[in-house]
């Protein structure tokens, strides 16, 4: 995106902050989100923050939002990158022209997590993405259009303790829910319909046990996620990817398997 196509900073601030900044010098946000948080926690200008200098933050939006919402960016719509094309005015970019948390979410509002505008799910996605972006996906983008953040969406499977991301995935993929492509038995073994891979799920990663033939969790690549320390669908699969179900890394030569297994 060229500099000339970036929205003016003043417009961004008005969209992001609304009327909050008119009286924000008292050092807290009142009943606005984030409630009772001093301006200096996020804004470089501190208690002197106003519409003209609020764009300068102490850290990136992802770092600031992640301080209170540590799981929000784990498996979610990517942020912190330049927009590929101009977006509708109701979805503001930051001063650099980047898509950030506040592109979709109202930063200072009475309802934490509130989205800009009235569009939701598919209609919201199509405000920025072209239809062709989703049409070439295996599931036509259904999994991505349900939510910008993967979270628990179905009831816990009996006898198996799964993390919220796996539960969300199984909302479409489990035959227990919709006649999907995977099953999870009572022992916690996930079985793909192709028969190519059977793998435990829901169990705590055993890599920190000295006798286990696994690499320590701390040594795994960042994209190999262990939500709540457990093996999950998102340990091996990307939650948000144009190629639906893509592996977090190539398994050529069993590379993905050997990322965890020390054999």
Residue 11: predicted pLDDT: 38
Is residue 179 pLDDT above 60, yes or no? Answer: no
DSSP structure string for 56-88? -BSS-HHHHHHHH-TTTTTSB---SEE-SS---
Distance CA 141, CA 184 (A): 24
Report which of residues 117 and 151 the model is more confident about.
117
Per residue in 58-89, pLDDT (tens digit) is 999 998 998 888 777 788 888 989 998 899 99
Q: What is the pLDDT of residues 121-176, one digit of tens each?
A: 889 999 999 999 888 877 788 777 777 777 644 445 556 788 888 888 887 787 55
Domain boundaries, the chain: 3-118, 164-260
In contact, 29 and 108? CB cutoff 8 Å? yes
Instruction: For tokens 């669908």, name the residue.
Output: 233
Is pLDDT of 6 > 80?
no
Rounded Cα gap, residues 175 and 173, in angstroms: 7
Asked if 188 and 203 touch (Cβ cutoff 8 Å), the reply is yes
Q: What band does 8 get if pLDDT is binned at 50, 70 and 90? A: very low
Whether the predicted pLDDT of 16 surpasses 90 = no
| Polymer length in residues for the chain | 263
Q: What is the pLDDT of residue 233?
A: 93
Provide the pLDDT confidence category of residue 106 given band limits of 50, 70 and 90. very high
Report the alpha-carbon distance of residue 247 to residue 159 in Å, rounded.
Answer: 27
pLDDT band at 47 (very low <50, low <70, confident <90, very high): confident
């Amino acid at each position: 995106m060229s500099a000339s196509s970036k929205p003016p900073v003043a417009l961004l601030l008005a969209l992001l902050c609304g009327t909050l900044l008119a009286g924000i010098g008292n050092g807290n946000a009142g009943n606005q989100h984030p409630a009772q948080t001093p301006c200096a926690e996020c804004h470089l200008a501190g208690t002197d923050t106003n519409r003209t200098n609020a764009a300068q933050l102490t850290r990136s939006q992802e770092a600031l939002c992640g301080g209170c919402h540590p799981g929000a960016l784990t498996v979610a719509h990517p942020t912190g990158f330049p927009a590929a094309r101009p977006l509708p005015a109701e979805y503001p970019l930051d001063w650099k022209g980047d898509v950030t948390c506040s592109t979709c979410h109202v930063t200072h509002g009475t309802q934490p997590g509130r989205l800009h505008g009235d569009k939701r799910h598919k209609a919201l996605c199509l405000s920025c993405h072209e239809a062709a972006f989703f049409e070439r996906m295996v599931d036509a983008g259904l999994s991505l259009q349900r939510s910008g953040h993967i979270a628990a969406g179905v009831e816990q499977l009996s006898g198996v303790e799964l993390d919220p991301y796996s539960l969300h995935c199984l909302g479409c993929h489990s035959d227990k829910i919709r006649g999907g492509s995977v099953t999870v038995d009572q022992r916690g073994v996930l079985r793909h319909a192709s028969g190519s891979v059977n793998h435990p799920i829901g169990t705590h990663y055993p890599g920190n046990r000295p006798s286990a033939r696994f690499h320590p969790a701390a040594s795994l690549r960042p994209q190999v996620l262990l939500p709540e320390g457990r093996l999950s669908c998102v340990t091996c699969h990307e939650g948000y990817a144009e190629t639906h179900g893509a592996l977090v890394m190539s398994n050529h030569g069993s590379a993905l398997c050997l990322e965890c297994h020390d054999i």
